[in-house]
Amino acid sequence: MKKLLSIIVLGLLLASCSENNIKRMLENCANDKFEKQLGIQPVLSLDIKGKLLHNYYYRVYGYCEDELKTFPIRFKEKWK
pLDDT, tens digit, for every residue of 2-56? 666 666 655 655 554 567 889 999 999 999 999 999 987 898 999 999 999 999 9
* pLDDT value at residue 20: 82
How do the domains of the chain map onto residue ranges?
23-79
pTM: 0.76
CA distance 32 to 5: 41
* pLDDT value at residue 80: 84
* pLDDT value at residue 57: 95
* pLDDT value at residue 4: 63
CA distances from 71 to 15, 19, 49, 76, 78 (A): 21, 17, 25, 9, 11
